[in-house]
A and B are shown apart, each in its own frame.
Chain A
């Protein structure tokens, strides 16, 4: 996300370390280049695949009526959801952090927890309870309720760490309470709001499962259908490229909008905020927040419990939940290890050796934020089918897809940690008789270990609840929690599907809870940029 707190600027002295170590830049540079290349690989092969049948064909596919419909569907969905998420997220964050709200600790947790439920499970929860739910408004509702925490969390963090003295200064300059709110408070949290909205939009572009369930046609649904059912690889690739282009435009737009990030100027300690008393509004506010938590968190959880108790009467062959759990854990752990390892050289370069090349590598590493899982999967399929058929639908391919998709998440966590391990400490280690490797192992590694653990956990959870890429890339005959859930729920075997969803929720609810407790700036999906 765009809050400035996410990247501590290295002190001037650290930048001094440039020329001293000859081999290190080479090693980390190579590592960073490999990571960046891997990230760009799917994109490159989408283009290769799309133009194989000639530009004329690409043009014909682009100018189809379908594309216009999809574009309209995507834009009106993104506009409504992003706006609703912004309103709900900012409003809830302000109420929780800036007013004298009773039970603040509880709300902090309840309002973030919907992050822990995969979007397609939320969709499943609503639709399984009411089959009449489908179309535009159903999609808007399901996605808003799943995604508003992406705005809430960064804004609440920004408001909680805000500085009362700025608002006091505005009031003393004759600005009224409301004008102060708009001109000072909102200005301070604007990067957080924009960053949150960016995440919401990107998540909307990438989502597949929830739209399939609510029967709302977006790019992802169409791409999946064309590729899986129509076996039209070129058409799917062309649509994917349109989707990527939209994502990159959104990403670039956010960068321009955010602009120069204002920082607290001058010395002095930020003073904590005095909270506004709610008075007679207390009861209505509590009811409103309870309603939000109820529909966002309560309904999906109720649906899962309902179907678990109703039990699984299914005509499909029963699958082993233990086996699915095992595969999920195996793939996710491998992806988490890979993404974490790849992010170390990138983070080291970006923190310790700032420069144009480094900045470029880093920007590329964040490209997957605008790449839906479906698109990465298609790119990898195009690559393996043409150049490495033995890797097609292999465990390796799936793990690589996860690692690419969630590299930004790992990078953010590791980079934040790397800021706590300045090169000067390693130098002191060397002056105390340690060689370069030993100094790294004894000084830097212990200091970034918490960041590495966080990166591993974030990627693990995201991989374990990933659906779209998994559906396309999983080895034949192997099921994960997400794919098995999908098989059952799309065949209306809700009772059988519920335990799988419950397990996924259990895996990702714990970190969502921890996140809400620590109020660290950021959320899942590469939120902290």
Chain B
């Protein structure tokens, strides 16, 4: 198990700078997700780590061994880094078995180890098939097995699930998660899907315009994003104006507790409240009981089955935008319902 470190990485194509000083620390044995919109440089970052491209400045090291720092450059074949490209990129002329054993010495290609790996990844019955005879999910499994066959010190996955349909994506994601956990290989997963990043990774690094804007555990990132853009990228959000005093924030929804580390000096600002932090109750009477929260009316209900997202317009002009509230699917309320909305802390302050 080796720790992967990227420091101040710069890389561009021609005049276009793609990476502008990327710092990334992937703890040994962890699964780190690099999350970003398409075109933010995610794939370039992976390609430099894999050694397909050379860094223009900065360094890459794995387990304390420098791979690329301007003077040293270790070619891809001597890095011991497995790479699973988008769409798998299986060798079309080789069978599943030959794809998986491609990187092994000739003597080991027909050995027990390969078979065990095929079993582990669940593709043993397909060993003699050719790539074009496989489904998208099967191709990804083969690509993963191929990269794992050489017991790499680190593994890079480039949007491995993006070409699969929703149901298959979820189940394969789960399976790969368990597999990687059991292998304990240091992994970098690149994705534009925040759900994928949050649900799979130990650490999430958000890449934007060629720099890592925030890196941390999924929950920390979700609850305490460094700016509004990131907050919105990670999920639906309410931004409320607030004034601060003694560890709490006064908002239109009443006083809300702040995350303990954040006690701003300033008197006012904004806080972010996630939709699931709002409690929504249907009102019996037209008049709201001030103790139950803010009065409002459901403007729109987006029903997803397991849950529902309600868009609620506060009444009596308290000067805030419609609120987003997530409720369980069984508690979904139709548009037009009169409700009261209350919020639960802790919330975090927007910088």
Contacts and interface: CB of A to CB of B under 8 A. Distances in A.
Nearest to B88: A428
A428 B83 contact: yes
B82 interface: yes
B103 A432 contact: yes
Contacts of A433: 77-78, 103, 150
A420 B93 CA distance: 11
A-B pairs with the 7 shortest C-beta distances? A432-B103, A431-B83, A430-B76, A20-B52, A433-B103, A446-B93, A20-B53
Interface in B174-191: none
A147 to B, nearest CB: 37
Interface of A: 13, 16-20, 420, 422, 424-425, 427-436, 439, 442-443, 446-447
A17 B92 CA distance: 20
A434 B77 contact: yes
Interface of B: 13, 43-44, 47, 50-54, 75-79, 81-83, 85-86, 89, 91-93, 102-103, 146-147, 149-150
Nearest to A429: B102
B81 A431 contact: yes
19 contacts: A13-B86, A16-B43, A16-B44, A18-B13, A20-B53, A20-B54, A420-B92, A425-B89, A425-B91, A427-B83, A427-B85, A428-B85, A430-B51, A431-B52, A431-B83, A431-B147, A432-B147, A436-B75, A447-B92
B85 A424 contact: yes
Contact of A13 (B43, B81, B149, B150): B43
Contacts of A443: 91
A432 B78 CA distance: 9
A52 B206 CA distance: 70
Nearest to B11: A19
Contacts of B146: 428, 432
A224 to B, nearest CB: 47
A439 B102 CA distance: 10
B52 A17 contact: yes
A119 B267 CA distance: 93
Contacts of B47: 16, 20
Given A19-B53, A428-B85, A432-B103, A447 B77 contact: no
A18 B92 CA distance: 23
Nearest to B44: A16
Contacts of A447: 91-93
A13 to B, nearest CB: 7
A435 B79 CA distance: 12
Contacts of A18: 13
Given A20-B52, A20-B54, A431 B76 contact: yes
B86 A427 contact: no
A353 to B, nearest CB: 12
B165 to A, nearest CB: 16
A434 B76 CA distance: 9
A20 B13 CA distance: 11
- By CB atoms of chain B within 10 A, which of A18, A20, A439 has the most? A20
A22 B51 CA distance: 12
B77 A431 contact: yes
Given A428-B85, A428-B146, A431-B77, 18 more contacts: A16-B43, A16-B53, A19-B13, A19-B53, A420-B92, A427-B52, A427-B85, A428-B83, A429-B102, A432-B77, A432-B82, A432-B102, A432-B103, A432-B147, A435-B77, A439-B77, A443-B91, A447-B92
A422 B146 CA distance: 18
A225 B83 CA distance: 65
B185 to A, nearest CB: 14
A242 to B, nearest CB: 43
Contacts of B83: 427-428, 431
Given A17-B52, A20-B54, A435-B77, A442 B43 contact: no
Contact of B75 (A420, A432, A435, A442): A435
Contacts of A430: 51-52, 75-77
Given A429-B102, A432-B150, A19 B54 contact: yes
- By CB atoms of chain B within 10 A, which of A13, A430, A447 has the most? A430
Contacts of B52: 17, 20, 427, 430-431
A430 B103 CA distance: 9
Nearest to A434: B77
A437 to B, nearest CB: 11
Nearest to B79: A431
B13 A442 contact: no
A433 B81 CA distance: 9
A443 B150 CA distance: 18
B93 A434 contact: no
- By CB atoms of chain B within 10 A, which of A16, A430, A432, A439 has the most? A432
Contact of A427 (B76, B82, B147): B76
B75 A431 contact: no
Nearest to B94: A446
Contacts of B13: 16, 18-19
A125 to B, nearest CB: 44
A434 B103 contact: yes
B62 to A, nearest CB: 13
Contact of A442 (B89, B92, B102): B102
A140 B334 CA distance: 81
Contacts of A20: 47, 51-54
A376 B31 CA distance: 63
Contact of B89 (A19, A428, A435): A428
A438 to B, nearest CB: 8
A430 to B, nearest CB: 4
Nearest to B101: A432
A356 to B, nearest CB: 13
Contacts of A429: 91, 102
Nearest to A19: B53
Nearest to B81: A431
A310 B293 CA distance: 111
Nearest to B13: A18
A422 B85 CA distance: 12
A28 B77 CA distance: 21
A430 B50 CA distance: 9
A17 to B, nearest CB: 7
A522 to B, nearest CB: 23
Contacts of B43: 13, 16
Contacts of A436: 75
Nearest to A439: B77
Nearest to B84: A428
Contacts of A13: 43, 86
A431 B50 contact: yes
A447 B50 CA distance: 23
Contacts of A17: 52
Contacts of B85: 424, 427-428
Contacts of B78: 433
Nearest to B50: A431
Contacts of B82: 431-432
Nearest to B73: A22
A420 B149 CA distance: 25
A208 to B, nearest CB: 43
